[in-house]
Amino acid sequence: MEVVIVQDAKAGGELIAESIAGLLRRKRDALLGVATGSTPLPVYQALTAKVRAGEVDASGARIAQLDEYVGLPAGHPESYRSVVLREVVEPLGLTEDAFMGPDGAAEDVQAACEAYDRALAESGGVDLQLLGIGTDGHIGFNEPCSSLASRTRIKTLTRQTREDNARFFDSPDEVPHHVITQGIGTILEARHLVLLATGEGKAEAVAQTVEGPVAAVVPASALQLHPHATVVVDEAAASKL
Ligand code: GLP
């Protein structure tokens, strides 16, 4: 695992955007796995700036979603599908044709999970998976004690994650209890994992991810098992290393 300490979130965004741009220059139709939350936004902004400046052509890129709330209608502004379309797909000049994600509004959620897991494999696999990290060490929505071999499935959010994500909703009660997430085993199949963590609130989770044992209680520690994992942290998130 490679750990890169940058000064701040903007520098982290720039560094990862350049890595994605490099990938797209080598492979026009790369499949980019994207995460939601506040942390990756500087990456998407920096990548969009590069595309608009003509530094990289993203027109062949494909975008895959990491996780999704269950039960929000697809058009809900805080469904992760809406967030990824708004923050990544549209700014990069792509259309929904370039996008794939799990169906959180499906009647048969289990079947939707299996279908998405299969679709990822059939698409040739994720070339670069961008990850954030929850304050409890989760990746995607794989909460602590998720199996390290897990596949895409339905999960129940912890109280802490619902509280952490309440800021995106009008009231805390609106945060769904259930989600679909790529499993840890699914995530580990991506060719390159890039985890970005910024701010002091992530420092403990980062320390356990990087320096602790590989353990299901810290799902992000599974990155230690991956042959090509990069952890980009700002100085605040690195403060407990
Ligand atoms: C959610 C997402 C994760 C994300 C996490 C942290 O739980 N499912 O993919 O990493 O939030 O979000 P933030 O970056 O806003 O702290």
Q: What is the pLDDT of residue 90?
A: 98
DSSP-derived secondary structure for 178-239? EEEE--HHHHTTSSEEEEEE-SGGGHHHHHHHHHS---TTSGGGGGGGSSSEEEEEETTTTT
Burial of residue 41 (number of CB atoms within 10 Å: 0-12, 13-18, 19+): middle
Distance 145 CA to ligand 1 centre (A): 17
Beta strands per DSSP E along the chain: 2-6, 31-34, 62-65, 67-69, 99-100, 128-131, 153-156, 178-181, 192-197, 229-234
The residue whose C-alpha atom lies closest to atom 13 belonging to ligand 1 is 37
* Total-model pTM: 0.97
What are the tens digits of pLDDT across the range 100-135? Answer: 999 999 999 999 999 999 999 999 999 999 999 999
State the amino acid at position 62 in one-letter form.
Answer: R
Known catalytic residue at 138: yes
- Domain at 2-221, CATH class: alpha beta
Q: What is the pLDDT of residue 73?
A: 80
Known catalytic residue at 57: no
The residue whose C-alpha atom lies closest to atom 11 belonging to ligand 1 is 37
Please work out whether the CB of residue 220 comes within 6 Å of at least one atom of ligand 1. Answer: no
All residue ranges of the chain with pLDDT < 50 are none
